């Protein structure tokens, strides 16, 4: 699949994996993206899908059902009672978010001082490219372990999710092995800290003024 596809349908959704879950018959939006991801949305619950599968996964489609399986053996089954609308289009390559002035400056200052994040860090590359966009910094420690660093002005849960997606894409290249993550911001919200720590992501709060004025800047790790 090389394009975005959206289906509006009355459907029943069943998930089987680490646990079982079922969504009863209702009208929902089914989204299949060119990167292989699959998600199911309602007209509520904000931006978060009701259920989803991250790539790589195998999608098998028939007129009355769609079955999605991933490499972990999890299965998402969508039983379609009625197709209301279907739409497909190519969005093209995503250039990625442009940093605002503060985030851009933070990235530049930290890239020149990566040992402030960790004593044995060396910078592999700034704006390290992945097929879903660039991660701010990719560093390596003295043991050869790579760390993806995502930098925000204010750290929120969405930023942690963004970093996790980058890590998953980088790890597909065997040259980088198992990649750790570091989430950096001038202020990280408490919910984002809890979420990041649950996913083994290191959180670091920085002081922009200290970074600008001297090398003796203060970093707080969580």
Closest CA to 188 of 106, 116, 109, 120: 106
Does residue 88 contact residue 4 with C-beta atoms inside 8 Å?
yes
In this structure, the answer to whether residues 135 and 26 fall within a common structural domain is: no
Tens of pLDDT, residues 115-146: 888 999 999 999 999 988 899 999 999 999 99
pLDDT value at residue 59: 93
Judge contact between 10 and 107, C-beta under 8 A. no
CB 80 within 8 A of CB 10: yes
How much is the average pLDDT of 139-154?
94
pLDDT at residue number 106: 87
* Mean pLDDT within 136-165: 94
> Which domain, by its residues, includes 107?
101-221
Cα–Cα distance, 46 to 23 (Å, whole number)? 17
Q: Are residues 181 and 139 in the same domain?
A: yes
Contacts made by residues 97-100, CB under 8 angstroms, sequence distance 24+: 97/133, 100/153
User: What pLDDT is recorded for position 116?
Assistant: 86
Q: What mean pLDDT comes out for the span 22-33?
A: 95
What pLDDT is stored for residue 43 in this prediction? 86
Indicate the range of 7-16, 18-27, 193-202 predicted with least confidence. 18-27
pLDDT tens-digit series, residues 68-90 = 999 888 999 999 999 999 999 88
Q: Identify whether residues 130 and 158 lie together within a single domain.
A: yes
Residue 218, pLDDT > 70, answer: no
Whether the predicted model's global pTM rises above the 0.75 cut: no
The reported pLDDT for the residue numbered 51 is: 92
Q: Are 64 and 150 in a shared domain?
A: no
* pLDDT tens-place string over residues 98-118: 555 578 888 889 998 898 889
- Give the total number of structural domains in the chain: 2
**80 and 113, same domain (yes or no):** no
Average pLDDT over residues 48-67: 91
Same domain? 85 vs 113: no
Please give the structure tokens belonging to residue 62: 């028939």
């Amino acid at each position: 699949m090389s394009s975005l596809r959206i289906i509006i349908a009355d459907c029943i959704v069943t998930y089987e994996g680490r646990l079982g879950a079922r969504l009863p018959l209702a009208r929902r939006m089914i989204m299949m993206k060119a990167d292989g991801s699959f998600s199911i949305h309602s007209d509520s619950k904000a931006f978060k899908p009701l259920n989803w599968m991250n790539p790589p996964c195998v999608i098998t489609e028939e007129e009355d059902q769609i079955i999605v399986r991933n490499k972990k053996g999890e299965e998402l089954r969508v039983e379609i009672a009625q197709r209301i609308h279907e739409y497909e289009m190519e969005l093209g390559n995503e250039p990625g978010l442009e940093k605002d002035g503060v985030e851009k400056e933070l990235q530049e200052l930290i890239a020149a001082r990566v040992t402030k994040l960790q004593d044995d860090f060396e910078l592999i590359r700034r704006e390290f490219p992945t097929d879903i966009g660039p991660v701010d910094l990719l560093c390596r420690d003295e043991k050869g372990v790579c760390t993806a660093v995502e930098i925000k002005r204010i750290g929120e849960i969405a930023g942690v999710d963004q970093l996790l997606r980058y890590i998953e894409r980088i790890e597909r290249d065997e040259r980088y092995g198992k990649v750790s993550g570091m989430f950096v911001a001038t202020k990280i919200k408490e919910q984002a800290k809890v979420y990041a720590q649950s996913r083994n992501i290191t959180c670091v709060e920085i002081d922009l003024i200290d970074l600008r004025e001297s090398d003796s800047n203060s970093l707080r790790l969580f």
